[in-house]
Amino acid sequence: MHKHKIGVIGGGLMGHGIAYLLAVAGHEVGVFEPDAETSASLPKRLQAIADLLGDDAALVQRIAAHEQMAAAVHGASFVFEAAPEKLPLKQRIFADLEGLVAPETILASNSSAIPTTEIGRDLKHRERVIGTHFWNPPHLVPLVEVIQNERTSAAVLRATMDLLREAGKVPVHVRRDVPGFVGNRLQHAMKREAIALVAAGVCDAETVDTVVKEGFGARTAVLGPMEQSDLVGLNLTLDIAEVLYGSLDNTPGPHPFLREKVKAGKLGMKTGEGLRAWAPGEADAVRARLSRFLAEQAKARKKSLD
């Protein structure tokens, strides 16, 4: 595998995980993080990932934090941007990058929702701008949605997919720069119905979670919705759709139930109540359970690839 010099812009939640997974793959990573405190905590946060995954701590040495963007991206063949989700900021970063790297350096944005068409709008070399949507935490969740915009070249798409695949990720090609790409559209289609069910009093929020986790969620990791539809047969899928679709929620915009929660300051775990109530310690237990589960999955996956 070819070893690259790779730049990561922003060393926050996503940036440090992206830097880590690229370093595991043997690449030299430079991270530009302008906030001094966040930058200073980078080695400790990277070490925590190595501890969680039982990786050789020496690989953290392949990641260097920089106070200047120029130093972080010097000689880079790829740059992954994971700065805050603000269009003007991302546009400025990409404009600066164009002056700092070679014309063929691939510029990837981890934006959750901003089209890379907009981020790269004013660049000279737009064919090298691409979306790489990692899922949190990026070092544990395998999927990366690779979003090709109207200008992204086939060669840039291929090189990005290859780099991510060789780093042990599961990249998928999203052919159009649509809001939410694929994963968040699916996730929010489900959330929309879940919130409407609770708002209508059909069941409580805990029941929704139980239905997903103990029901179709129990098989989702090994059976996607298209496979499942083909498994039961499309005639049955159509019969169910005929009965069901007319009664699914189609409230235009976010459901008033969700808006009211936010207005009342019921934001979820951080305020002690959201869709469910969170007694002290319960939220931490959920976070620990998730982290343990994802780390076990990642370790099992690595073993099966070795």
Ligand X SMILES: NC(=O)c1ccc[n+]([C@@H]2O[C@H](COP(=O)([O-])OP(=O)(O)OC[C@H]3O[C@@H](n4cnc5c(N)ncnc54)[C@H](O)[C@@H]3O)[C@@H](O)[C@H]2O)c1
Pick the closer one to ligand X by CB: 79 or 275. Answer: 79
Least Cβ distance, residue 204 to ligand X (angstroms): 26
Pick the closer one to ligand X by CB: 20 or 134. Answer: 134
Q: Three-state DSSP class for 306?
A: coil
Pick the closer one to ligand X by CB: 20 or 32. Answer: 32
Pick the closer one to ligand X by CB: 10 or 115. Answer: 10
Q: Three-state DSSP class for 113?
A: coil
Give the residues lining the site for ligand X (CB under 6 A): 9-15, 32-35, 38, 82-85, 89, 93, 110-112, 134, 136
Spatial distance between the Cα atoms of 262 and 271, rounded to a whole number of angstroms: 11
Least Cβ distance, residue 263 to ligand X (angstroms): 24
Residues 6+ apart with CB under 8 A from 212: 190, 194
Spatial distance between the Cα atoms of 33 and 72, rounded to a whole number of angstroms: 9
| Residue number of the CB atom closest to ligand X | 12
**Could you tell me the maximum CA-CA distance found in the chain, to the nearest angstrom?**
60
Q: Three-state DSSP class for 84?
A: coil
Pick the closer one to ligand X by CB: 77 or 111. Answer: 111
Least Cβ distance, residue 117 to ligand X (angstroms): 15
Least Cβ distance, residue 93 to ligand X (angstroms): 6
Spatial distance between the Cα atoms of 42 and 272, rounded to a whole number of angstroms: 29
Least Cβ distance, residue 137 to ligand X (angstroms): 8
Spatial distance between the Cα atoms of 6 and 173, rounded to a whole number of angstroms: 21
The answer to whether 21 touches 138, Cβ cutoff 8 Å, is yes
